Structure 1
Amino acid sequence: MAAPDIRSLLRSGPGRTAAIVVVLIVVALLFRGAGDDDAPSAGSASATAQPLAPAEVAGPGQLTIGSTVVVPRPANDDHVGTLRSSVGRTAEAQQVLVLSVPADEGFWVGSGPLDRIWVQITGSGESPVVVRASQRASFTGTVVAHDSGFAARIGVNVLEGASRLTSEGAHLQVARSSLTLAG
């Protein structure tokens, strides 16, 4: 069976047209922020970007809360709720993988969609820090609780992980001065 051309898909009714629109929106979200505005702004940034040595690239890095490793997640542990039960505790990350950056001042770290933790950068004014997916982040932060409207307030939608963020009930708050980026 030959693949249909785009004109026949668009003429095939509203169901197919809606599916195409959804795919285009997902593609647009994946490429959001890939333009010139990703370039670091002039001035000094608190986070530093450095090339990675090959040995540093493997794995998701490590994020701990106290003595508990939360990234990479232990086998058979989805760690949803781990943050909520750790509010007020200190989290330390060493070379954790940045998975995506759906908000100006926040990003996901971990090894994948089921093993990720939200990091919110704090400080006054717009951050000069430019975080990109696939970079490595090291920081010390605090686990803080948030309400069910947090994801919407920071601009994270359903496709970017709003449900995961809301169900977790907490995130990591990291001062710009504590954040070091590599890669």
Structure 2
Amino acid sequence: MFLLVAVVVLLLAGCAGPPVPEPPAPRHVTLHDLVVESVPADTGFWARTSDGDRVWVTLVLPERAPMPVQEGERLDVTGVVVRHGPGFAARAGVTAAWDVELLTRQGSHVRVEQADVRVVPGARRA
């Protein structure tokens, strides 16, 4: 009987499969001199990096707070890169077809707390 119990325990231990990998650690980023291109959503905006890449930034704002950034402003932001699925653009309030396509293709955005946004003084783009 002891041998049967031991075999069953060993078999069940082997059936558990490989260990489930832990999700990757959040990737923190600091982006300098972003230019706000457009603000099409209540809590998100498109910005262009100094390399010319477009990035979607989602701001974590207090409830009912107005969007604190404006088109043309230059910003420094610190946040976390967040992966998202194909439905993210609609949830974020992005409606322009080319923006939806780009955001879906990118598969990630930067999530930033309002306190981690700094407007670069005197650097408003014309």
The bucket for the TM-score relative to the shorter chain is: 0.5 to 0.7
CA contact (8 A) 1:87 1:144 kept: no
2:70 aligned residue (113, 117, 132): 132
User: What is the letter of the counterpart of residue 124 of structure 1?
Assistant: P
Look up the match of 1:157: 95
Partner residue in 2 for 1:93? 31
Seen in structure 2, the aligned counterparts of structure 1 residues 175 and 160 have a Cα distance that, compared at 3 Å, is: farther
Q: TM-score, normalised by structure 2?
A: 0.67
Give the one of 105, 121, 124 matched to 2:43: 105
Q: In structure 2, what is the equivalent of residue 120 of structure 1?
A: 58
Corresponding residue SS for 1:92? strand
Per the alignment, residue 17 of structure 2 pairs with none
4+ residue stretches of structure 1 with deviation over 6 A? none
Distance 1:151 1:121 in 2: 14
Can you give the 5+ residue segments of structure 1 that lack an aligned partner in the other structure? 1-85
Mapped partners of 2:65, 2:98: distance in 1: 21
Equivalent residues, number: 97
Does the 8 Å contact 1:95/1:137 carry over to 2? Answer: yes
User: Retained in 2: the 8 A contact 1:139–1:179?
Assistant: yes
Sequence identity (%): 35
Residue of structure 2 equivalent to 1:54: none
The letter of the residue matching 2:118 is T
Structure 1 residues 87 and 97, CA gap change in structure 2 (3 angstroms): farther
Question: What residue is the counterpart of 1:178 in the other structure?
Answer: 116
Gaps of 5+ in 2: 1-23
* Amino acid paired to 1:162: V
AA of the residue aligned to 1:91 = V
Equivalent pair of 1:103/1:154 in contact (CA under 8 Å): yes
